[in-house]
Structure 1
Amino acid sequence: MSDKKFLNYEQDGHIVTLTMNDPEARNALTGNSAVPEFLAAIDRIHADHAVRAVILTGAGSAFSSGGNVKDMGRYSEMAPMELRREYRLGIQKLPLALFNLEVPVIAAVNGHAIGAGLDLACMCDIRVAAEEAKFAESFVKLGIIPGDGGAWLLPRIIGLSRATELTLTGQMIDAKQAAEWNLVSRVVPREQLLPTARALAEQIAANPPHAVRLAKRLLREALHSRLDTLLEMSAAFQVMSHQTADHHEAVSAFIEKRKPEFRG
């Protein structure tokens, strides 16, 4: 495993940009320190209430190639329970951590998002793609299955039929088709990718942070909750929101016809 740092953490105001920085390995997520660095960055964001939005992107030509195929040879030599433990304490911690992160995450998909790289993009809340981006749920091509939550994430984003098609064929789709299938929100020229993601992050960060965090939590909970359960949670969150200084500021600014100043 290389000693090189995998993830660059940059904060500008209320926005954090995380850049996967191993372009030689096409930002692979295994065989390196990617997962522990992601977990540490997520903990850091959790602890910093000044952070209101996150952008995730990759250095070089790829967003992420997913699992490092060269590293997979050792898996067949491991005892089954040892390998199971490696998955559970390794890559599978990443979807849980990102799912429970209250700050919204925008994936700026700069290039290929393959296998676990596609699933990583699906762990984010919003996906924006460069025109040359490609997407594939390619595990089946290697005789394996999505081991990192992709079978849960992908159908909830693009629907079961299309998710099944991608998963069972391993086929690659381009950014245009990804947009048509609602895998990404928008497609832009490469040079506009980070500015577009930044503008979107600034729009989010301009809103009361408590409302953004609670709204994201509701959207996440809605993926697996009954309507009556979600309504109960919504009522509780709404009571909390009505008591905040930022809500009072928003109402006052609206009445006084001025720009609100949210402090979080």
Structure 2
Amino acid sequence: MTRDDYETIAWSYRGRILYLTLNRPDRLNAVNARLHAELARVFTDAANEEACDVIVLTGAGRGFCAGGDIEWQEGALDDPQAFARTVVEAKQIIFSMLDCEKPIIAKVNGPAVGLGCTLALFCDVIFAAEDAVISDPHVSVGMVAGDGGAVIWPQLVGYARAKEFLMTGDRLSAREAERIGLINRAVPRTELDATVDAFADRLAAGATMAIRWTKASINIGLKQLAHSIMDASLAYEAMTNLSSDHREAVQAFKERRQPVFQGR
């Protein structure tokens, strides 16, 4: 794909810095089938883009990414074979982020939920507006946190905290996320753009090869870990996609009520 082929991710440049903006602002950049497919390719395309040395990932409008679009989730319930494609793309998203030698900076300008949270946490450095919220509520919709959360959360905050937040889906403020080490920095919303731009400029002015290969070196262990976990966690997620609890959660969301889970 070329940058002109993207419908749901906007590409823009400032010098040698590439800004990738998730571009479904009317849905808080919730992920549908098109955006998921584009996410599976965009980091590979950006890695091959000769015009940039640093990548900034952010969201259009009020949100970073609100997770899976409810209509997309409902479609996967009715057509389980479609979820098989989602599993393939999910691995492509994570491994293309880890394989990209260019530093990826997350600019979390609003809610980062579910897959949106995973996207942010797999970036190399994470800045967030202090009023943003971060959560991975897969369990709240009756699904396993299989798209990368089980890999990255324990590495950032330890196993006990990772289990607490992944088994409850509880939300964290950006300030709390910074305090426990989940993200790098939470800053006032009015300072977010300038803070991210200044850090991106610093990396862009640095020794490009040294920065890239330092990231590559650090990611060796993380890639090994991801390879050991992702197939199993995504298989578990695929199984919960077929569960009665997940169907109940989707229906409850549409009806604006609390789901009643039966453990099946």
Cross-structure match for 2:191: 192
Cross-structure match for 1:13: 15
Question: Does structure 2 retain, via aligned residues, the 8 Å contact 1:6–1:20?
Answer: yes
- The question of 1:58 aligning with 2:62 is answered no
Question: Which letter maps to 1:136?
Answer: S
Structure 2 CA distance for partners of 1:122 and 1:51, relative to 1, 3 Å: same
Question: Does structure 2 retain, via aligned residues, the 8 Å contact 1:92–1:147?
Answer: no
TM-score (norm 1): 0.78
Structure 2 CA distance for partners of 1:84 and 1:69, relative to 1, 3 Å: closer
1:4 offset after TM fit, Å?
A: 8.6
Cross-structure match for 1:75: 76
For residues 40 and 143 of structure 2, what CA distance do their matches in structure 1 show?
25
Percent identity reads 31
1:84 offset after TM fit, Å?
A: 4.9
- The question of 1:97 aligning with 2:126 is answered no
What secondary structure, in the 3-state scheme, does the structure 2 residue paired with 1:198 have?
A: helix
Cross-structure match for 2:49: 48
Question: Does structure 1 retain, via aligned residues, the 8 Å contact 2:41–2:92?
Answer: no
Cross-structure match for 1:30: 32
Root-mean-square deviation (CA, aligned residues, Å) is 2.0
Cross-structure match for 1:220: 219
1:14 offset after TM fit, Å?
A: 1.3
Cross-structure match for 1:128: 127
1:46 offset after TM fit, Å?
A: 2.0
Question: Does structure 1 retain, via aligned residues, the 8 Å contact 2:138–2:144?
Answer: yes
Which protein, 1 or 2, shows the higher relative CO under an 8 Å CA cutoff with sep ≥ 6?
A: 2
- The question of 1:203 aligning with 2:180 is answered no
Aligned length in residues: 221
Deviates more, 1:82-91 or 1:147-156: 82-91
1:225 offset after TM fit, Å?
A: 6.5
Question: Which letter maps to 1:5?
Answer: E
Question: Which letter maps to 1:18?
Answer: L
Question: Does structure 2 retain, via aligned residues, the 8 Å contact 1:62–1:112?
Answer: yes
- The question of 1:114 aligning with 2:113 is answered yes
Question: Does structure 1 retain, via aligned residues, the 8 Å contact 2:154–2:161?
Answer: yes
Alignment gaps of 5+ in structure 1: 227-264
Question: Which letter maps to 2:212?
Answer: R
What secondary structure, in the 3-state scheme, does the structure 2 residue paired with 1:9 have?
A: strand
Q: Radius of gyration: which is bigger?
A: 1
TM-score (norm 2): 0.78
What secondary structure, in the 3-state scheme, does the structure 1 residue paired with 2:72 have?
A: helix
State the Cα deviation string for residues 129-186 of structure 1 (Å, max 9, x = none).
1011101110000000113111111111121111111101111110111011111111
1:42 offset after TM fit, Å?
A: 2.2
